[in-house]
Structure 1
Amino acid sequence: MEKSPEISGEHTLATPSSPSSRPVVGPRQRWLGLLVVLAATLMNLLDSSVVGVAAPAIRRDLGGGYSSLQWIAAGYTLALAVGLLTGARLGDMYGRRFMLMVGVVGFVALSVACAAAWSPQTLIVARVLQGLFGALMIPQTFGLLRDLFPPAELGKAFAVFGPAIGLSTVLGPIVAGVLVDGDVFGTGWRMIFLINLPLGAFALFVGGRVLPKVAPSEPGGRLDVVGMVLAGVGTFMLVHPLVQGRELGWPLWSLIECGASLPVLAGFAVYQLRRQAAGRAPLIRLGVFRRRSYASGVGFVMVFFGAIVGISMAIGLFLQLGLGYTPTRASLTMGAWAVGAFVGSGFSGVVMGRLGRRILHIGLTVMAAGTGWLYLVFRQAETGLGSGDLLGPLAVFGLGMGMIFVPVFDIIMGEVEDHEVGSASGALESLQQLGASLGIAVLGTVFFGVIGAQATHNFDTSAAPRLRAEMSLAGVPTGTQDSIVTGLRACLDDRENATDPDTVPASCRTLRVPPAATAAVAEASADTHTRSSLDAIRRTTLLALALTAVAFALGFLLPKRARENQLAEATPESLTETREPALV
């Protein structure tokens, strides 16, 4: 019997094209390798979710407008969406182990750059580059698990991998809130990026010793640089005006840019078809989109992830910017959402084999119930909304959302032929990230736009009458009251619609308030902002509910059953060709 290599770093260099050429990996090496893959995946998951908790603290420190908060989140997912199309291809060309190591090095270096950012612009650039290196890591993880574990034992690896990812999803935002409030070593929000250093160091040190060296499946292949550029430019032109348009008053160029993204993306599709017809490997094999089930599945994924990522960011911002919650309190409140998702994922994993596509509609129904409950809470709430009011609806929302996470990709891939699985899964994963970017852009724009639009209305109907009453009790003359109310109305309208919330508008600088009315004016300002934030989260929640209904309708076009799980019987050739989407 052949002896397994030890952890000394000696591995079999072979191409997985036949059973005899698969690397021989010892039991200890396998499980250490699983921890390396898990560390790389955790870094991506953490950096996809922690910014929503830390965003207000980042803005207070670095300044910038509300669109900067959207770009700090959307820039990462947008870069990830574009880079994923190439990341898997690079793994085929240069080897999965090598590209994972390159991705980890770059990701950690850019995490340090994020932590050292001195302006919103430098942080956004670092986040975009971080997303590109994340796109090098993530496509390699599933293939590396297949290199580490024989088909008969791969299920054991996922029995550990799946719950670990689910638990990290629950704890990640909570840890982020604690780190921001804890101000570890005086780092504040910067520690949410520095936490990647120990994870990355572990992945590099241990991964370099235990991950098997498997020859690239397509050595010497050519990279589709033109396709990547077209995809990147087209998606940026689609997302950029959605994020920036509101702050700039929706100038004509923003509408032109958004419309021009469509011919650029169409050009990308034409180029991919021509490249494939010429016998060269494209980024995406577009033939799979001819299948109605797959095309509708792409729409389902983009709408579904756009809704949940967009509303998640909006609620996180509302709790901190609108209600004044600390990052820890906000993350603990939203922890109910993550706990519900964890439970829902476990439930769907048990019943999806019996229910098939129906589990998606059950999950969407539960998710819609939680969203509707959230809307009712926001609708009936006054400015004293507490964490306890949100725990129930957030848990129900998360429960329904979690039911969809486990089966959705396998169901969408249900009618895809075996030779199409690699390209189809890579495109699906990339478009999932694009949907998340669009969700952040659209729902974030609605949220901030409503805050500005409702400021005058909320001041006149709620804050102004109480302000007059309190000034009368304080003995402020009527003429002075009129001047203060008129000036404060203009001040609040300008401030809520300002591109940079830290810049004091001229109307606020010229406002003169006697000492007797200072407290009343401050209370009126806070009340107006909180009520405007409530209006904004109501409108955003309704939009998320509408997107859930769209996903529900698209669900009827999906295959009734998932692809059969044939990992135990799969050949090494099929294992090499198949790429699974990354866990969310």
Structure 2
Amino acid sequence: MTSPARTAAGSSAAGEPEPNRWKALSVCLTAGFMTLLDVSIVNVALPSIAQELDASASALQWIVSGYALTFGLVLVSAGRLGDARGRRTLFIAGVLVFTLASLAAGLAQSAAWLVVARLVQGVGGGIINPQVSGLIQQLFQGAERGRAFGRLGATIGVSTAIGPVLGGGILAVVGPEHGWRWVFLVNLPVGVLAILLSLRYLAPRRDKEPARDLDAVGAVLLGAGVVGVLWPLVSEQWEPVDAALLVAGLVLLAVFVLWERRVDARGGTPMVRLSLFRVPGYAPGALLALAYFSGFTGIFFVLTLYLQDQLGYTPLQAGLAITPFALGSAVTAAIGGRVVSTRGRTVVVTGLVLVIAGLVLTDVLLDAAGGRSVTGWWTAAPLLLAGLGSGLVIAPNQTLALEHVPVDQAGAAGGVLQTGQRLGSAVGIAVVGALYFAGTASGDGTAGVTHGLAATIALLAVALVIGVVDLVRRRHAGRPTGGLAEPHHGR
């Protein structure tokens, strides 16, 4: 008996779930882990890169920030293109670009070569990630979708926190002279395997939208606006040109909104349907993600710098010191994905309270330790608590934000969410980093890290306020705070 034909939604013609959906998810998460890991794993290799390639401070800044810049640049456009032309095709293309760029980075003979490779790597990562969230929307329904997003949340949390550990381990094993190259080359077997398995487990889309329906003008406006906003945030020093770029970026984003309204009013297909922000749960979920990632990313930034620069920890030791956060996040992300279907926004609010409580305790203990070598041991328990909370925030919030989004807009919607996360990360690092360096410049490293953590706590408090307001609004509107609805498949 032949199996029923598969539809674009990833289900059989009879409405049965895609039998390979969990294997497909594993392939997607493997590639997503690889791209998110490269956000932080390179940080511990910067001293070796500077020495071996004679890289300037500006080049090192671009090796880190250029990746984030191009990553954020293509997220929404890639998500929309995946919705229109097939997520499997875009996923494979993104993995191929990322893998080849990783090879180029590992073989770099100059700082300029490495910068270009990192820019291309960022493009590959930006193509891959909206396909992952879009495929989860496509392949899973109801409570299963929450569990799938739970695995995605664990991937995000672990990849962000474990990067310094893996990078430090590679440098310790291979040595600083060539270890930085293997930080990039380790992606090659992962990328090749992901491509081969995606060809087997991801179903191709057959009903593709015509190319003329794609909003090229909207893509250019959005891309230019994102670059204008991100560029000043990832710059090492604030210059007058950065202020001009920021203003220009904000203006272009405003023009983008007006253009999308015009395309929609004329019956066209915009890059992002602005009606998405009227979908229940989407706007507060996007705002909460932006605020949360502003604080979330800053945690690892200031702690890694403090432990290495002020306390003399090796890259591996510094990575191990923040591993409790990653472990806690991995544990509760899976739990959060299961309970969000019944507890809803309450899960996110509870997680935010735990993250803030853990960081407040971390801040107190850092001050009490006074720069002693035992600092990493003292902060292990509160970082574990913060990690347990984080696992209840990222995946459940993404699940709730995308709960009512039509499947044929899932890629673009996920791209908008992740663009907000990248913008939030850039804002957080800029703010937290400025406070940290201001403190260390006065000769008091402990003051620098405690000021930086205070800023992350304030940013996370903003996320908590957004979550509480949405929770109260849901209750006043008579909508349940939990329970995932069945997905919409229309526009």
Bin for the TM-score computed over the shorter chain: 0.7 to 0.9
Structure 2 counterpart of 1:322, one-letter code = Q
Match of 2:292 in 1: 304
TM-score, with length taken from structure 1? 0.72
Match of 2:428 in 1: 439
For residue 245 of structure 2, the aligned residue among 238, 246, 257 is 257
Q: Assess if the C-alpha contact under 8 Å between 1:370 and 1:393 holds in 2.
A: yes
Equivalent of 1:326 in 307, 314, 324: 314
Equivalent in 339, 342, 357 of residue 330 of structure 2: 342
Out of 194, 205, 217, which is 1:214 matched to?
205
Q: Which residue of 2 aligns with 1:399?
A: 388
Structure 1 Cα separation of the partners of residues 157 and 462 of structure 2: 29
Match of 2:103 in 1: 112
* CA–CA distance in structure 2, aligned partners of residues 556 and 160 of structure 1: 21
The answer for the alignment partner of 1:550 in structure 2 is 462
- 1:212-239 deviation digits (Å, cap 9, x = unpaired): 3331432434433332222222222223
Instruction: Please state how far the C-alpha of 1:554 moved relative to its aligned partner.
Output: 1.6
Q: Give the structure 1 partner of residue 2 of structure 2.
A: 2
Q: State the secondary structure of the residue aligned to 2:380.
A: helix
- Give the equivalent residue in structure 2 for 1:475: none
> For residue 51 of structure 1, what is the amino acid of its counterpart?
V
Describe the superposition over 1:40-80 as per-residue Cα deviations: whole angstroms up to 9, x where unpaired.
Answer: 22322322332344344444544556665554344323322
Say which SS state the counterpart of residue 379 (structure 2) adopts: helix
Is the 1:92–1:219 Cα contact (8 Å) retained in structure 2? no
* Secondary structure in 2 matching 1:131: helix
Per-residue deviation, residues 396-442 of structure 1 (Å, max 9, x unmatched): 22122122122112333467678876654432232222222322333
Secondary structure in 2 matching 1:547: helix
Tell me if 1:269 matches 2:257.
yes
Is structure 2 residue 346 aligned with structure 1 residue 358? yes
Q: Secondary structure at the match of 2:13?
A: helix
Shift of 1:566: 5.1
Match of 2:193 among 196, 202, 220: 202
Equivalent residue number for residue 20 of structure 1: 13
Separation of aligned partners in 2, 1:239 and 1:65: 22
Q: Distance in 1 between matches of 2:396 and 2:143?
A: 21
Write the deviation string for residues 294-318 of structure 1: whole angstroms up to 9, x where unpaired: 4343222111011111221222222
For residues 267-306 of structure 1, the C-alpha deviation after alignment (integer angstroms, 9 at most, x for no partner) is 1211222222222222211233357954343222111011
2:32 alignment partner AA: T
The aligned residue for residue 437 of structure 2 is 448
* d(CA) in 1 for partners of 2:328, 2:17: 40
| Range with greater deviation from structure 2 (308-317 or 417-426) | 417-426
Superimposed CA distance per residue, residues 162-206 of structure 1 (whole angstroms, 9 cap, x where no aligned partner): 597379537554322211221269621221211111011112233
The 8 Å contact of residues 340 and 395 in structure 1, kept in 2 or not, is answered as yes
Task: Report deviation, 1:546.
Answer: 1.0
State the partner residue of 1:527.
none
**Alpha-carbon separation, structure 1, partners of 2:35 and 2:156:** 13
- Say whether 1:191 aligns with 2:182: yes
What is the alpha-carbon distance in structure 2 between the residues aligned to residue 351 and residue 380 of structure 1?
A: 37
Question: How far does residue 120 in structure 1 lie from its aligned partner after superposition?
Answer: 4.6
CA separation of 1:144 and 1:240: change in aligned 2, threshold 3 A: closer
The CA distance in 2 between the partners of 1:353 and 1:179, in whole Å, is 40
Query: What letter is aligned with 1:48?
Result: V
How far is the alpha carbon of 1:20 from its aligned partner?
A: 3.0
Read off the aligned partner of 1:435 and give its amino acid letter.
G
Equivalence for 2:484: 565
Judged with a 3 Å threshold, the aligned counterparts in structure 2 of structure 1 residues 441 and 216 are, in CA distance, closer, same or farther, namely farther
- In the aligned structure 2, how far is the partner of 1:293 from the partner of 1:255? 33
CA RMSD of aligned residues (A): 3.7
Whether the 8 Å contact between 1:78 and 1:434 is mirrored in structure 2 is no
Query: Is 1:412 matched up with 2:401?
Result: yes
Q: After TM superposition, list the pairs within 5 Å mapping 1:424-435 onto structure 2.
A: 424-435=413-424
Greater mean deviation of Cα atoms: 283-292 or 128-137: 283-292
Partner of 2:477 in structure 1?
none
How far residue 85 of structure 1 moved from its aligned partner, in angstroms, is 0.7
SS in 2 for 1:46: helix
1:165 and 2:158 aligned: no
Deviation of 1:265 (Å): 1.7
Q: Secondary structure at the match of 1:403?
A: coil
Q: Which residues of 2 match residues 50-89 of structure 1 at below 5 A?
A: 50-62=41-53, 64=55, 71-89=62-80
Deviation at 1:84, TM superposition (A): 1.6
* 3-state SS, counterpart of residue 188 of structure 1: helix
Distance in 1 separating the partners of 2:465 and 2:178: 46
Distance 2:258 2:394 in 1: 32
SS at match of 2:241: helix
Taking the aligned partners of 2:358 and 2:308, their CA distance within structure 1 comes to 21
SS in 2 for 1:407: helix
From the superposition, tell whether residues 197 and 421 of structure 1 become closer, same or farther in structure 2 (CA, over 3 Å).
Answer: closer
The amino acid that maps onto 2:484 is N
CA distance in 1, matches of 2:302, 2:345: 29
Corresponding position of 1:295: 283
Higher mean alpha-carbon deviation, 189-198 vs 342-351, is at 342-351
Which whole-Å deviations, capped at 9, do the CAs of 1:70-111 have from their partners, x for residues lacking one?
Answer: 543443233222312111222234322222221111110111
Residues 294 and 413, structure 1, Cα contact 8 Å, conserved in 2: yes
Q: Tell me, in whole angstroms, the C-alpha distance in 1 between the residues paired with 2:426 and 2:68.
A: 6
Question: Percent identity, aligned pairs only?
Answer: 32
Q: SS where residue 187 of structure 1 aligns?
A: helix
Cα distance change of structure 1 residues 406 and 208 upon mapping to structure 2, 3 Å threshold: closer
Rate the CA distance shift 1:327–1:288 in 2: closer, same or farther, 3 A: same
The 8 Å contact of residues 23 and 212 in structure 1, kept in 2 or not, is answered as: no
May I ask how many residue pairs the two structures share in their alignment? 482
Q: 2:215 maps to what in 1?
A: 224
The separation in 2 between residues aligned to 1:364 and 1:145, in whole angstroms, is 24
Structure with the greater alpha carbon radius of gyration: 1
User: Using the alignment, how far apart are the partners of 2:277 and 2:189 within structure 1?
Assistant: 41
Q: Using the TM superposition, name which of 151-160 and 442-451 deviates more.
A: 151-160
Residue aligning to 1:175: 166
Unaligned runs of 5+ in 2: 475-479
Equivalent of 2:274 in 286, 307, 310: 286
Q: Which stretch shows the higher mean deviation, 314-323 or 179-188?
A: 179-188
Distance 1:420 1:165, change over 3 A: closer
User: Relative to structure 1, is the Cα distance of residues 104 and 89 closer, same or farther in structure 2, using a 3 angstrom cutoff?
Assistant: same
SS at match of 2:385: helix
User: In structure 2, do the counterparts of structure 1 residues 184 and 360 end up closer, same or farther at CA, with 3 Å as the change threshold?
Assistant: same
The TM-score normalised by the length of structure 2 is 0.84
Report the secondary structure of 1:20's partner residue.
coil
